[in-house]
Amino acid sequence: MEALQKSMQNTPPKASSHAMWWGTLGTVRPFPNFNSEKDARDIQTALESKGSDVNTLVRILTNRNNAQRQTIAESYHNLTQKELCPALKKALSGGLEQLMLGLMMTPSQFDANRLRQTMEGIGTDEESLLAVLCTKSPQQLKDATIAYKQEFGRYLENDLISETSKDFTKLVLAILKKEELNSKEMVDYQLIDQDVKALNDAVNGKKKDPAPWIQVLTTRDSNHLNRVLSRLEDLRGETVDKTVQSHFSGDLRLGFRTLVGSILSIPLFLAQRLHSNIKKGSLVQGILISHSEEDLLCVRIEYRRLTNTSLYSTLQKEYKGEMQQALLALCRSEDL
């Protein structure tokens, strides 16, 4: 666990930092010599060509960062007096349509849409719901909550309550509203000891109490929690994951396992998720789009360590055509 902590910092950039620059951990960076008017004209030509020039659409939109894509959408509207997204929707279909429309959303809109998708239809996809919630910073979750209301006219908290139950509801809402209340200026050894004791005591009695686990894991920063979880493992002589599996059940167990995995290392958690679901296009798209300007380089490194194969090569093998082109552009390069 200590090795994970040293090798990877978990805290994602704040949602307001849309422009990512060289030296960041993202794979998609601002396109040099960017000209939104030219891009808008090229996209218009591609959309108006017979059968649509999909290759050009993919090439432009996957090689611009999110802020630049928003500017392209404005330029396209000024040029054509039409909205770009409906035009893309008309020209594309299937998974590629979903990917390209996802690229045109702001980060908070994209997070809100991913959360809504996990709760639509019959039943809730708890695994995907947790994967989004647990890999976002408190500020990103606040932004997604606002975007959710704007996009769907619904309150995210109310939907989460209606789609979950009992202690799992408490956990999900605590993750949504997570705050890092501990001091980040210094290592608080007293609080570490207090948290370790609270977590250990909660699973030692006949009746397991999830409340301390929910409280501790959603109100501390990742560096503090890595120390707490490492101490807990030393105390119990087993991994935290094994402790969770032994003492909790159902959705609550899934929730704690996901939360603990993301606390230990968000990149490793996402690499494991990609490896287990590489054929699920919508899941792969969600991770690549959401993390392409944040920490996808770290995810690539962990994927390589985990599978002994690069994410780039895996995507090249699993996908074809324009979808392959788009995913590889987001992944960006090979890891040897």
> What whole-number percentage of the chain has pLDDT above 90?
86
In single-letter form, the type of residue at position 204 comes to N
> Does 6 have pLDDT greater than 70?
no
For 267-331, the fitting CATH number among 1.10.10.10, 3.90.950.10, 1.10.220.10, 1.10.8.80 is 1.10.220.10
The alpha carbon of 328 is separated from its chain's Cα centroid by a whole number of angstroms, namely 18
Predicted confidence at residue 228, as pLDDT, reads 98
Distance of CA 133 to the CA centre of its chain: 8
The fold adopted by the segment(s) 107-177 is Annexin V; domain 1 (1.10.220)
pLDDT at residue 335 is higher than 80? yes
Q: Which residues of 298-326 are buried (b: 16+ CB within 10 A; e: fewer)?
A: bbbbbbbeebeebbbbbbeeebeebbebb
pTM for the full predicted model: 0.89
Reported confidence tier of residue 13, pLDDT bands at 50, 70, 90: very low
pLDDT tens readout for residues 134-193:
999 999 999 999 999 999 999 999 999 999 999 999 999 999 999 888 877 889 999 999
Q: Which CATH architecture has domain 36-104?
A: Orthogonal Bundle (1.10)
pLDDT in tens, 177-205: 998 888 778 899 999 999 999 999 999 98
d(CA 226, CA 91): 47
pLDDT, residue 297, reads 96
User: Averaged over 292-306, what is the pLDDT?
Assistant: 96
Structure tokens at 83: 């909205």
B/e letters for 72-83, b = 16+ CB within 10 Å, e = fewer, are bbebbeeebeee
Domains 107-177 and 189-264 share a fold: yes
Q: Residue 89: its pLDDT value, please?
A: 95
pLDDT at 311: 98
Q: Where are the domains of the chain?
A: 36-104, 107-177, 189-264, 267-331
Q: What's the CATH architecture for 189-264?
A: Orthogonal Bundle (1.10)
Query: Which H, E and C letters describe the chain, residue by residue?
Result: CHHHHHHCCCCCCCCCCCCCCCCCCCCCCCCCCCCHHHHHHHHHHHHHCCCCCHHHHHHHHCCCCHHHHHHHHHHHHHHHCCCHHHHHHHHCCHHHHHHHHHHHCCHHHHHHHHHHHHHCCCCCCHHHHHHHHHCCCHHHHHHHHHHHHHHHCCCHHHHHHHHCCHHHHHHHHHHHCCCCCCCCCCCCHHHHHHHHHHHHHHHHCCCCCCHHHHHHHCCCCHHHHHHHHHHHHHHHCCCHHHHHHHHCCHHHHHHHHHHHHHHHCHHHHHHHHHHHCCCCHHHHHHHHHHHCCCCHHHHHHHHHHHHCCCHHHHHHHHCCHHHHHHHHHHHCCCCC
